Amino acid sequence: MQVSRDASNQLAIDPNATERLSSLARSNPKEAIRQVASQFEAILLNQMMASMRSNGFDGEEDSSELGTYRGMLDQQMVNAMVQGGGTGLAEMLARQIEGVARIDKTATPAASSGMLPLPALPAAAAKAIRQYAEAAGTATAAPAPVAIPSERQAFVSTLLPHAGQAAERLGVAPELLVGHAALESGWGSRSIRHPDGRESYNLFGIKAGGAWRGESVATLTTEYVDGKPRKQVESFRSYPSLQAAFDDYAKLLEGSSRYQRALNQGDNAQGFAVALQQGGYATDPAYARKLAGVAQSLLAR
């Protein structure tokens, strides 16, 4: 199987692709612009496909595996569409960039040569370009990933600032959320990581069900069946940051009727823990006792 060297099939945020594009820009600026424009068109088409998939269909049963295969199929369809000529957006965008950058220094200006002016980019596309550029700038300026410490005091000090907003939404003390994260992650010693070593920041053991549209990671976990522990592989949600993990946790508890009794418990660690277990948060029969014990130890600090 041959691998194309055309960088238009790779995201520019890939360091290797970025280096190749930089080199191409020096040797063949127009071709580099064409490939970047093609990338942008592919990104928009991917977003359109993802948006269509997220709506789903009535009566359709989803699974994380089905979502993975659909994502692969969508990517293949987008690649085929872009390589087959695309929608015309890439060509229009490339012409716009060339006109602004004035790459061809010897070309006669359109006004004096009788050439028709370049067509204006559609408003929707222009807005998408601005949003993409802003997102790229934010990603570039983002701080380095925060490591989850396994030493207990460092674990608490790192997580407490992120727990405040979520705790306020849930009506509980932030120590209860940090205690829950400590129980699920073994004080950071059992953090769920991707095969390449990236941190998933899944502090609360939240699984990636069929409705989850974000990134996920599979790992071995312990489930209790008829009161007996059993090891099995499950798919868990993955987040870009600690704050995203706390935000999703708060959203889960707020939006589920199963956990409504856990809300507005203040610093009542026992009430919070029992409500979560009764709601089916975990299969461990001793879960409430364990959670309450960890949370109370943090409240007593």
Q: Dump pLDDT digits (tens) for 10-61.
A: 444 444 555 565 666 667 777 767 776 777 777 776 666 665 655 544 444 4
pLDDT value of residue 270: 97
264-285 pLDDT, tens digit each: 999 999 999 999 999 999 888 9
Cα 292 to Cα 106, 217, 251, 270, distances in angstroms: 75, 28, 21, 5
Q: Tell me the residue type at 31.
A: E
pLDDT value of residue 149: 85
Q: Which parts of the chain sit beneath pLDDT 50?
A: 1-15, 56-61, 64, 103-119, 132-133, 135-143
> φ and ψ at 166, to 5 degrees?
-65, -40
pLDDT value of residue 188: 92
d(CA 120, CA 102): 16
pLDDT value of residue 103: 44
List residues with catalytic annotation: 223, 248
Name beta bridge partners: 229. Answer: 224
Cα 198 to Cα 25, 171, 227, distances in angstroms: 31, 32, 33
Q: Which phi-psi region, left, alpha or beta, contains residue 54 (left: φ > 0; alpha: ψ -120 to 50)? A: alpha
Q: Tell me the residue type at 276.
A: L
What's the predicted TM-score (pTM) here?
A: 0.52
Give the residue among 192, 209, 182 at the shortest CA–CA distance from 273. Answer: 182
